[in-house]
Amino acid sequence: MFFFSTGQVPTADDFLPVARYKQVDETAPVSSATVQDDDELVIPGVVPGRYALLAWIAYSSASSTPDIRHDFFAPAGTTMERTTFAQGTGASATSGSIHTETAVNPGTDVLRGTLAGNTLSMLIVGGMTVSTAGTVGFRWGQGTSDSNSVTVRAGSWLWLARLA
């Protein structure tokens, strides 16, 4: 569903959500808890407006220690509200309680758990207001500096739809 102001004439671009699909696994540097921009989950050319944001991220590690820290980058002045649904830190099974954490604005990291030798996933739902045109993307890295890497898996995706 799209919302338009009275008298606004929508164009074809108003109805096109944009998605990015991760084609290959990407591994973060080891022994570093610094987040990095994802190589593929990046959407350039985002114009000012209000957007719905949705992402599904599959990730893994050989160890439960590093966890995964994630965030988004966006043009200066962007405001964002998002909630992550995923297993918390210290995960001990591939099933169990789902933890939610709400973060605001790009630059606010969220920490989720990893489970040795297993692929887990997170669902991120939110909205954002972009005031300056630019690029929006996912960023991530180890939650705790560790010699075991964290990998974001192929098949993960990022989706944006302009609402106003």
The Cα 69–Cα 114 span in angstroms is 10
What are the pLDDT digits (tens) for 29-74? Answer: 888 878 899 999 999 989 899 999 999 999 888 877 777 888 899 9
Among 17, 20, 18, CA closest to 152: 20
pLDDT band for position 23 (cuts 50, 70, 90):
very high
What tokens were used for 140? 């991530």
DSSP 116: B
Is the model more confident about 141 or about 54? 54
Residue 60, exposed/middle/buried by CB under 10 A (0-12, 13-18, 19+)?
buried
Q: Which fold has domain 18-162?
A: Jelly Rolls (2.60.120)
pLDDT in tens, 76-124: 999 999 888 877 666 555 556 666 666 666 766 666 666 677 788 889 9
Q: For position 1, what pLDDT does the model report?
A: 44
